[in-house]
Amino acid sequence: MSDKKDDRFKLAVLGSPITHSLSPAIHRAAYQTLGFDWEYDAVELTGESLPAFLGALDRRWRGLSLTMPLKRDVVPLLDWADPLVELVGGANTVVVSEGHLRGYNTDVEGALRSFLDAGLSNLDSVWILGAGATAASLLVASIRMGAQSIEIFARTPSKAEPLKELGESLGATVTLRQWREATTATTATTAPTVIITTVPGGAMDLRFAEAVRTTSVLFDVAYDPWPSEIAASWYDAGGTVISGHDLLINQAIAQVRIFAAGTADVPLPHEADAIDAMRAAIEQPEGHNHS
């Protein structure tokens, strides 16, 4: 391995579909700013192919970011999992070390930082649209931000029972509702502090009244396309929106901490500059083109 490039650490984001992912753009921007000579790419991968892919990783690999639909699929394949992974049932971060796979969840931390960046210091009531792995992380983050009342809207509410059990185990009151009830049962006086949509492309078939859009903060974890239809409707009403870009950057900087230092708890030198570079990479049109 005389080629210097062969000595560089390799990292990647895995998922399907993956062509829309902005993770390569923001991770590359962060590593360049921090002085890490690391490669970071996107790999199209489904759950069926995940075991073989992980089994073939060599010593050049440093870490992986996981997106839909792999956050839950990877958990039984880990050699070690952070307690938060066990709690939410999903890992979005894997560190590769001496042939072992260590799993972490930075979606919760990313959500917490996004709430705080938006000026929210305490949540009262929260609605969550969707019931997947990301919803579990946003549920935990909401409860850690003080939410005591959480309503989960799903097309098949029975599939959200694990989320109800998770929320109640953490001391919150959790109610499961039919998807369409999100718009028919909402007024300005009953609107929650935050409405979180965790479904791909936003909650495209839901239309909220203007009184709700000006009362509740919208947290849309999707970012392709941006703004989503639901986010655009919030902007049109002059409402407050936390974007998927915010969550993406905040969970990604926690990943960078883990890849660099093995923990998300310690800020990196020049981290603020790295975050600025990550946001700039998203704002540049070429940031959407990944090879």
What are the residue numbers of the active site?
71
3-state secondary structure of 79: coil
3-state secondary structure of 25: helix
Tell me how far apart the alpha carbons of residues 205 and 283 are, in angstroms, rounded to a whole number. 27
Tell me how far apart the alpha carbons of residues 110 and 247 are, in angstroms, rounded to a whole number. 5
Tell me how far apart the alpha carbons of residues 123 and 142 are, in angstroms, rounded to a whole number. 7
Q: Give φ, ψ of 120 to 5 degrees.
A: -95, 115
Tell me how far apart the alpha carbons of residues 205 and 227 are, in angstroms, rounded to a whole number. 15
3-state helix/strand/coil string of 56-123: CCCCCEEEEEECCCHHHHCHHHCCEECHHHHHHCCCCEEEEECCEEEEECCHHHHHHHHHHHCCCCCC
Q: Give φ, ψ of 289 to 5 degrees.
A: -105, 110
